[in-house]
A and B are shown apart, each in its own frame.
Chain A
Amino acid sequence: MRVEPFDRANPDLSKRDSGSVKSVPPRVPGFYTLLRTEFTLAVRRRSDIVNPLLFFVTVLAMMPLGIGPEPEMLARMAAGLIWVMALLATLLSQESLFRGDYEDGSLEQLALQPQPLYFPVLAKVVVHWLVTGMPLALLSPLLGMMLNLGEAGYWPLFVSLALGTASLSLIGAVGAALTVALRRPGLLLALIIMPLYVPVLIFGTGAVQAALDGYGYGPQMAILGAILAAAAALAPLAAAGAIRISLEN
């Protein structure tokens, strides 16, 4: 059935008979609509928010059991441990980023829209960051305290995690999009995405370490911000391309 293009300047509603209106898909959701939808969905699936956090806290609680409870040693390792665990928690939660939409076919619908796939991907990533990265960052000073991190490190740890996990979500989205058509992507996703996480990890822990050593941590934050800006511009493009490749499969 041919659907007449809707002329905004000259809306002739009589042309669209009621029969064809039903078959026309609902209005293309804009960025904010999509954002709201995704956020509502994420909030309703509680486990998606709680599980990465629980993972983060549980694994960090294992660390002193493994390496010993000496406060000095924990203090030296705290920033790195928290950062690596935040990285793993983000990575593990990323696998399901596009999975549900791929399986129920709505990803295909998004890809068929006349508008670029960039914005839907960005909306999904923003929501992913809001429900994983942001809570991790908010929780990090508490864990820092438990791991005997110096007080000077709390603020940089929070800010670097908030900035850094946003980049991690964006970069990971590329991997999630590349592997969405595969049946069990878990380890493969980690293998292809981990190397790309390295710069974020280095500058994130670098910022905390600089603050603990009594130096300014502005440069590291600036670089983290630059990485985030570059990732926000480029990663959704790559992820959109990857989604189209996956849908061809």
Chain B
Amino acid sequence: MSWQWFHRLGSPRWFYQKTSVWLPWLGTASLLLLAVGIAWGLGFAPEDFKQGNSYRIIYIHVPAAFLALAGYYIMAICGAIGLIWKMKLSFVVMRAAAPIGAALTFIALFTGAVWGKPTWGTYWVWDARITSMLILFFLYLGVMALSGAFAREQSGDKASALLALVGTVNIPIIYKSVDWWFTLHQPATLKLTEASTIDPSMFYPLITMIAGFYLFYAWVLTLHTRSLILQREWRTQWVRELLGQSAPAAKV
């Protein structure tokens, strides 16, 4: 097998042109799955006998929390690829992933707080999992702040990639935190290896939502990456042609 595809990925132009074809499919599929999942989860899934209707927030909360964690890995891996193979595009994806991941972490925290009020009687508890999610949020903000702090773009790329890699040290702790400092938060209900403790009638819409969130993430990440590519490559010929400018833009 040749590595040509891998090296092609390094070209922002190739990525931009390819994704123009994928985007509509990604967008349609993710919106479709999200629509089905939301209608199913919020409208048709049975009520929880203990928590009533308030449990339904898991259809947003759980996928957002999944993606918030996975997004950090995606960001860190892109940063590592950029540092190792000096791939321009990889850094762009890393930069694009940071604000999306931060937004998802915020959604997970916010929906958790909204759910916590009727269930635990308080919006915020300093429990291990909530706290580590908050720390994940700070990690995202740190990467974003550092990438924007450098005048030279390449330095910001590399520095924030390194910080993202260092931050991955904390991710296993976030996962393990439930076992380490078990306090108020209930243990994870979704288990890959054992039978889950959630009823199938609630589980299938949740899986639909998770799949929908993953596709939505891919869609938004591609969109954001494309806009960052245009910003970075605005001097090149192909971007000018794309924007219908043959001559350089007005001199500032």
Contacts and interface: CB of A to CB of B under 8 A. Distances in A.
A148 interface: no
B170 A249 contact: no
A195 B141 CA distance: 10
B167 A178 contact: no
B139 interface: yes
A195 B150 contact: no
Size bracket of the B interface: 20 to 34
B135 A242 contact: no
A188 B143 CA distance: 10
Interface in B153-203: 154-155, 158-159, 162-163, 165-167, 169-170, 173, 181
Contacts of B143: 192
B142 interface: yes
A174 interface: yes
Contact of B166 (A185, A196, A199, A245): A196
Interface string A130-166: 0000000000000000000000000000000000000
Nearest to A198: B135
A238 interface: yes
A174 B160 CA distance: 12
B192 to A, nearest CB: 25
A248 interface: yes
Given A178-B146, A198-B135, A192 B163 contact: yes
B138 interface: yes
Give the one of B145, B162, B163, B166 with max A CB within 10 A: B166
A91 B150 CA distance: 21
Contacts of A242: 159, 162
Given A188-B146, A248-B154, A194 B159 contact: no
B167 A241 contact: no
Interface in B35-92: none
Contact of A195 (B151, B154, B162, B167): B167
Given A191-B142, A194-B138, A199-B173, A174 B166 contact: yes
Given A198-B170, A248-B154, A178 B159 contact: yes
Given A191-B142, A195-B167, A242-B159, A179 B149 contact: yes
Contact of B139 (A195, A241, A248): A195
28 contacts: A174-B166, A178-B162, A178-B163, A179-B146, A182-B150, A188-B145, A188-B146, A191-B141, A191-B142, A191-B145, A192-B143, A192-B145, A192-B163, A193-B142, A195-B135, A195-B138, A195-B142, A196-B167, A198-B135, A198-B170, A198-B173, A202-B181, A242-B159, A242-B162, A245-B155, A245-B159, A246-B159, A249-B152
Q: 3 closest pairs, A vs B, by CB?
A: A192-B142, A249-B155, A195-B138
